[in-house]
Amino acid sequence: MSFTVTEIRQNLFSALSLLLERRNEFLKNPTSDFTRKKKISFEKTMLFPMIAGADNVATELLNLFGEEELPLPSAMIQRRNQIKKEAFRELFYLFNKSIPDGNTFHGYQLVACDGTRLNLPHNKADSNTLVDNIEGRKSFNQIHMNALYDILNDLFLDIEIQGMQKLDEIGALCRFLDKHAGTDRRRIYIADRGYASFNVYAHAINNNQMFLIRMKASDAQHLYSDHQHLSEKSTIDESVTIHVGRRRKSSNCKYENYHFVRKNHRYDFIDYGTNKVDFFRLRILKFPLSNGSFEYIATNLPKELFSLASIKKLYNLRWGEETAFRHLKYAGNMVHIHSVKPDFLIQEIYGKLTLYNFSSCITKAIAKRKTASTSYKYSFNHTQIQKIVRFYIIGAVKNLEKLFNKFLVPVRPGRKFKRIMRRQ
């Protein structure tokens, strides 16, 4: 099932109406807030953090309200203060629920987990986000956003926000696995090497979830009692039994391939000092890359259904989340925060995520233009689309398809660029 552009917009505004009906949950003073007709309605207050761009608040209000109905920035701040931050989180989830099931890989939804950092306005009083440990550099504020991303459908599914002083990417993935354990959809969780840990493997297996996680060479060697085994062949694809415990007793060490988890390392299924031993089987893969180095993968995907070629393809698809982060932060203006208040920060983050998913749904609803040329296939320009969609939400743009077709970019599969690391 797919929706038209009009239906997608209606779904967004239906979710906004539902939130206002649940005023006791999402308004700070439900008996008085948004009860009288005023210039700044509940809908426009919710939409403002979503569509606000890189300009100052006054200019963004002019885009939203126009010249005749233009309110003061202080009035918008007062209205935003009347809404709990949970309302913006709920809007994100409600809109996601309205999106029909999309593309899958052999019946599995492909979900990438990764994180990105967001720079905040400088605030020395916020110790949770303050970074003040770089010699010769002024302190600054950042948060880390852990995200689940549907690779094949270009949608963000869930996020967890952490201050830089409490950064815990592995813990965030474990909580995602527990939180989404009840979903009816079969998923494959794909993550980079920073997530390789016994705790992640155990959470996925205990929740009956499939996973594919890249490892460092040292992590792969740690899984084998015979380290030389990995250097014997250029390509490896085999299963290994792992026993995990929290004591170094001789009785525990008799288990095949036993691994002791130290007290300062987290493993949620065994309390430190107890005799319990967990075991699970992992499929370990090692294969060469074009640059001569080797990739190491830990997964529980069955070999009879997912060949080595499929594993390579799956992990390569994970890079789609990196592109999505770039579009979210720069085209979607998540890098432009308009307030230092923590609650307003949450409002803007969830607003921008909702806008991204709305834009993605609109893109899929509009058929791509067919061209006479066979040199390239064309795709919509994601950067321009997110800017246009903001005007469509507020009713300033009517014919989206005509505008979208003015901004097409050629698809060039197989292009590779050297990754440039910039310090911000």
Task: Characterize the bridge pairing of strands 187-191 and 210-215.
Answer: parallel
In whole angstroms, give the CA distance from residue 286 to residue 217.
9
Contact 393, 47 (CB under 8 A): yes
In whole angstroms, give the CA distance from residue 211 to residue 299.
5
pLDDT computed for residue 374 by the predictor: 57
- For CA atoms 62, 65, 67, 70, give the dihedral sign: negative
pLDDT computed for residue 361 by the predictor: 92
In whole angstroms, give the CA distance from residue 80 to residue 109.
36
Nearest to 244 by CA among 210, 287, 207, 199: 199
pLDDT computed for residue 421 by the predictor: 64
Tokens 């390392």 -> residue: 265
Q: Convert the pLDDT of each residue in 82-133 to its tens digit.
A: 999 999 999 999 999 999 888 999 999 999 999 999 988 888 888 888 888 7
Residues of the chain falling short of pLDDT 50: none
In whole angstroms, give the CA distance from residue 183 to residue 201.
19
* Residues near 265 by beta carbon (within 8 Å), at least 6 away in sequence: 199
pLDDT computed for residue 417 by the predictor: 63
CA 370 to chain centroid, in Å, comes to 32
Q: Convert the pLDDT of each residue in 169-194 to its tens digit.
A: 999 999 999 999 877 789 999 999 89
Q: Does an H or E element contain 57, and which?
A: helix 57-65
Kindly state the tokens that stand for 252. Answer: 């525990």
In whole angstroms, give the CA distance from residue 318 to residue 192.
8
pLDDT computed for residue 232 by the predictor: 72
pLDDT computed for residue 419 by the predictor: 65
pLDDT computed for residue 253 by the predictor: 79
What does pTM read for this prediction? 0.92
In whole angstroms, give the CA distance from residue 189 to residue 176.
10
CA 57 to chain centroid, in Å, comes to 27
